[in-house]
Amino acid sequence: MKLTNKLKSLSGLWLSVLAVGVALGGFFIGDGIYRAMSGRTVTVKGLAERDVVADTAVWNIKINGVGGDLTVLQQQIDEDINEIHAFLIDSGFSPTDIQNLRVQVRDKYAGYSDAELKNQQNDGRYVIETGVKVRSNNVGLVDAVSRRMGELVRRGITITEDYAGPIYIFNGLNEIKISMIEQATKNATAAGQQFAKDADARLGKIKSANQGVFSIESRDPTDSWSSNERQSINKKVRVVATITFYLK
């Protein structure tokens, strides 16, 4: 009888140990599945774009003159500069918008000996390059007047061949950064939710995020000229947010 009771006691103890082992095994299996699910991720991108208008224009009107008498040549350049000032003020600019560029003088025969100079024509020895800078927040006025450069040419003013027209600057990026990042994040989240739905899963917490770099482009690039963002009044600001989500 005592032997039978001992066997029953040992059998009960074994069953208890077995039950605990099964329970622990189930826990570890379940925990392993959870960890495997939490290791699943999806990386998505969200784009935000906004059309903006430049708020500042900088316009360099460069001119030059060629001659053999430096004093006479400088007088001619001074007259041309005065003509440009009058043209700009008559067009609606304030004198405070206008600034003279520095003067550069080039001697084509610099370094020549006296003997070599005797064989050269003196008419075109000196070249003076200078001009006028216009800086204004009235970008529309700058754009309109810059299209009338032919009027200065008809007055006998020589515009240099490297004249590139005004450049237009947008200074309000800091004011729209936060809202654009929020929009890009929202768009990335929507893309992640759609992916999770298609994968029969749920979108979890963010694992990592990269806001990306803001870029400013021409809004209407139709040719090589207009594709230059600096020469475009109408611009497009873009940012791409890259986010990695856990999947549940």
Q: Give the per-residue pLDDT at 121.
A: 66
When pLDDT is averaged across residues 56-80 and rounded to a whole number, the result is 94
- pTM for this one? 0.75
Q: Specify the DSSP class assigned to residue 95.
A: G
Q: Specify the DSSP class assigned to residue 102.
A: P
Of the listed ranges 72-86, 138-152, 156-170, the one predicted with least confidence: 156-170
Report which of 196, 208, 168, 202 is spatially closest to residue 56, judged by C-alpha positions: 168
Task: Return all residues near 196 (Cβ < 8 A) that are at least 6 apart.
Answer: 42, 202, 203, 245, 247
